[in-house]
Amino acid sequence: MTIITRENPTDVVARPVRPIRRRPASSRPAGSPLHYQRTGVLMSRASHRPKRITPLTTVLLSLVAAGITMWLGLVAQLGASAVPAEEMPSRLAVVQVQAGESLQQLAQRVAPDAPVGAVVDQIKELNELHTAAVDAGQTLIAPVG
């Protein structure tokens, strides 16, 4: 097929026209989903079946878990011995700070026979206090006796 055009009023030029290629009509029924030939996503060709866990694998995994548990227990045991046993009080109590009470007065109240400075230091260490300031109603761990 050719098209005749005029570039100048006196010239006639014939140019070939490429035929329009149309896709064939779809053969899918009107309610069915579209079928995609290729999505561009690469998929593995490996088998997607889950591998069975053998009894040997179960035993080995449980032994590894037991070893890790024992190791963590040993590390915790060694880390807990930071405070010597002779410095730890034999009995502890949970006490509540009264209104207007200082840490020194609390130490005298819970351990009247012990030196006040040592008891105050133990209370600060047991409760991880950085200062001697306490609030009324605050709950603390203190050595008794």
Does the predicted model carry a pTM greater than 0.75? no
Residue with tokens 């006639």: 12
CA–CA distance, 136 with 99 (Å, rounded to integer):
5
| 9-40 tens-digit pLDDT | 566 666 677 777 776 666 667 777 766 666 66
Tens of pLDDT, residues 87-139? 556 788 899 999 899 899 999 999 888 888 888 999 998 898 888 888 889 99
CATH 3.10.350.10 fits 92-143, yes or no: yes
Kindly write down the DSSP assignment for every residue of 11-60, as one continuous string.
--EEEE-PPPP-PPPP-S-TTSPP--S--S-----S--PPPPPPHHHHHH
DSSP-based three-state secondary structure for 66: helix
The domains of the chain are located at 92-143
